[in-house]
Amino acid sequence: MTSEATMPSALVLPKRRWRVSFGWLALYLNVVLAFVFLYAPIVVMSIFSFNASRQMQVWMGFTLDWYVRMLHDERVRIAAQNSLIVALVSTLVSTVIGTLAAMALERTRFRVKRLYEGAMYLPIIVPEIVMAIALLVFFNLAFTWLDRLFGLQLNFGLGTITIAHIAFSFPFVAVVVRARLADFDRTLEQAAQDLGATDWQTFRYITLPLLMPGIIAGALLAFTLSIDDFVITFFNAGVGSTTLPLEIYGRVRRGITPDVNALSTVMLLASIVLVLGSLLLQRRRTA
Amino acid sequence: MVVAERVRPDQQILKWRERIVEVIRQREGLRALLLAGPGGLWLLLFFLLPIAIVFAYSFAHRGPYGTVAWAFTIENYTRFFDWLYIRVFLVSVWLALLSTIICLVIGYPFAYVIARAPRRWRNALLVLVLIPFWTNFLVRTYAIMLLLRADGLINNALLWLGVIERPLPMLFTPFAVVLGLVYGYLPFMILPIYASIEKFDFTLVEAAQDLGANTWHVFWRVLLPLTLPGVLAGSILVFIPSVGAFVTPDLLGGGKVVMIANLINQQFLTVRHWPFGSAVSFVLMAIVLAATMLYFRLGEGRRV
């Protein structure tokens, strides 16, 4: 009995709130420290983006100079523009073919289905660096042959980046949409057909709207994957097709300056807004 | 049926659409082809074919000026058994394992607290875990660099406190790389463990305690075995991207900590020995495959 009374019991919730056991204290401490660990780097980075000093070790007063400078920076503008173009096109294409693939996997039977399914998961598992160099090698070879056979002069650029992004994004869309399709109530479609709806009407007014939250979630995922990607973009970019992550990488490599902090902080805020926005959107849809 | 009046063009279009949909509906093979086709084609052309080319390259010779000469050899793979490259391999696996273990040690109790928190707090806590995670990976790695630099915040604080006399070299060390990997992939560990603890039936804990088990027994004999699927899933999700990490060792290791991905990068972009780079890529794929198979093996054994 006595040993049980002194033993820190972390696994049962304390019966009385004010007698928090040693075990729970340790657990709470772990949570607090983990949150400090997760947030300290990005918070420090954001704070120092307002630092007036060029040397970053000391705080020299508040300034918005780095942000103003960034707004007038032509390279940043072009990089942001490139990132957006690639992300929009890649999201559009991967959402469409990903949704179609999900329908194929969930709604039809065909001979090589297991193989198709397996191949679909491969881009998710294969290390990024391997996919990056595989595409580099492929485009290099394809461009050589297109030039040799048809005299077609193609080069690495936004096109190759977009194709690569679609290749790694659409399986994610397919997975998300497929999950939605799997717990889809098919009696709704049958009911529509019983009431005289044509196939097209059933798809347009029943299937598609019910699938929409999954498709939107998939599209958001594809957009985030594209805009965040560094490794695959790095190996498949050409002259003048620098995206935001590539621009940041280049600057970090050249030496750390506060303008990188400002750019990074803007990207940080953008992703927070995007995530919270999509969460709110989903909540409203399910409510 | 007799069509009495002339059909308006837009109705004609509607009719045709219905007809096409009807044909697609009746023939499942055609439907499957139309649905699976675009994705399949993309996968074949821009994923499977490129991987196949890399595989073929890994058995080729290096030609003059960094080109690829087609003559079969396994030299690229035997070359890997040089101590220089074995070391890279061992360092990668070791750092990835270390990161996985640290993520587990931090992540398990963390997930436990979230799963036991009042219901209305849980989602908020999960979102708090995910916010840094959704931030660009490069930005996060850069943020770690800022903290670890010789004139970074940590060194300044330690100097000011008088703990150290000279700045500690933290950046460009294995420590920095592991820190970066844990920072990058910790949520991958927390989420699956959270999911399995949330499903765990806590009356089992009471039952065990009624039968005289103490806290440690309850943890080792009841809670941990029953939440092991989450632990395994989290471990594989952290290990796989860690062992193939490129940005983290590149920026935080600064060329002093070389992992497999850095070796591949170097062979492709600097040395331009594409066949050897291809072989190293396939070694990396083999490691990932082995880890995945181990995961399924362990998972199957558990699911009794």
Asked, for residue B97, whether it belongs to a domain, the answer is yes
- Does residue A232 contact residue A131 with C-beta atoms inside 8 Å? yes
Q: Does A187 touch chain B (CB under 8 A)?
A: no
User: Distance (Å) from the C-alpha of residue A245 to the closest C-alpha of chain B?
Assistant: 7
Q: What is the pLDDT of residues A224-260, one digit of tens each?
A: 889 889 999 999 998 888 999 999 999 888 877 778 8
DSSP B48: I
Asked, for residue B70, whether it belongs to a domain, the answer is no
Choice among A159-173, B49-63, B210-224 with the minimum mean pLDDT = B210-224
Co-location of B93 and B190 in the same domain = yes
**What is the domain extent for residue B39?**
11-57
Co-location of B127 and B181 in the same domain = yes
Asked, for residue B5, whether it belongs to a domain, the answer is no
Q: Does B295 touch chain A (CB under 8 A)?
A: no
Co-location of B53 and B197 in the same domain = no
> A110: buried, middle or exposed (CB in 10 Å: 19+, 13-18, 0-12)?
middle
Nearest CB neighbour to A174, from listed B39, B183, B264: B39
Asked, for residue B63, whether it belongs to a domain, the answer is no
What are the sequence ranges of the domains in chain A?
A: 13-48, 73-286
Asked, for residue B1, whether it belongs to a domain, the answer is no
User: Distance (Å) from the C-alpha of residue B4 to the closest C-alpha of chain A?
Assistant: 22
- Does residue A1 contact residue B84 with C-beta atoms inside 8 Å? no
Q: For residue B6, what pLDDT is reported?
A: 62
Report the topology of domain A73-286.
MetI-like fold (1.10.3720)
ipTM of the complex: 0.84
Residue type, B52: A
Nearest-by-CA chain A residue for B236 = A125
Question: φ and ψ at B61, to 5 degrees?
Answer: -95, 160
Asked, for residue B16, whether it belongs to a domain, the answer is yes
Residue pointed to by tokens 């594409």: B274
Query: By C-alpha distance, which of B294, B198, B194, B277 is closest to B239?
Result: B294
Reading the block at residue B90, the tokens are 């061992």
- Does residue B259 contact residue B91 with C-beta atoms inside 8 Å? yes
Residue A239's alpha-carbon distances to A80, A242, A283, in angstroms, are 15, 7, 42
A98 sits in which H/E element: helix A74-107
* CATH number, domain containing residue B161: 1.10.3720.10
> B29: buried, middle or exposed (CB in 10 Å: 19+, 13-18, 0-12)?
exposed
Q: Does A270 touch chain B (CB under 8 A)?
A: no
Contacts 24+ apart (CB under 8 A), B202-205: B205/A11, B205/A12
Query: Which residues partner with B61 through β-bridges?
Result: B69
Higher pLDDT: A278 or B130? It is B130
Asked, for residue B65, whether it belongs to a domain, the answer is no
**What domain count does chain B have?**
2
Asked whether the predicted pLDDT for residue A49 surpasses 70, the reply is yes
* Cβ-based contacts of B127 with chain A (< 8 Å): 275-276, 279
B264–A28 C-beta distance less than 8 A? no
Q: How far apart are CA B159 and CA B173, in angstroms?
A: 20
Cα angle, residue A196 at apex, residues A193 and A202 outer, rounded to 5°:
45
Co-location of B32 and B111 in the same domain = no
A167–B46 C-beta distance less than 8 A? yes
Co-location of B16 and B95 in the same domain = no
Cα angle, residue A198 at apex, residues A196 and A200 outer, rounded to 5°:
150
Reading the block at residue A188, the tokens are 């709704």
Co-location of B150 and B214 in the same domain = yes
Asked, for residue B40, whether it belongs to a domain, the answer is yes
At B304, is the pLDDT very low, low, confident or very high (cuts 50, 70, 90)? very low
Q: What is the pLDDT of residues B150-191, one digit of tens each?
A: 888 888 888 888 888 888 888 899 999 999 999 999 999 999
Co-location of B266 and B294 in the same domain = yes
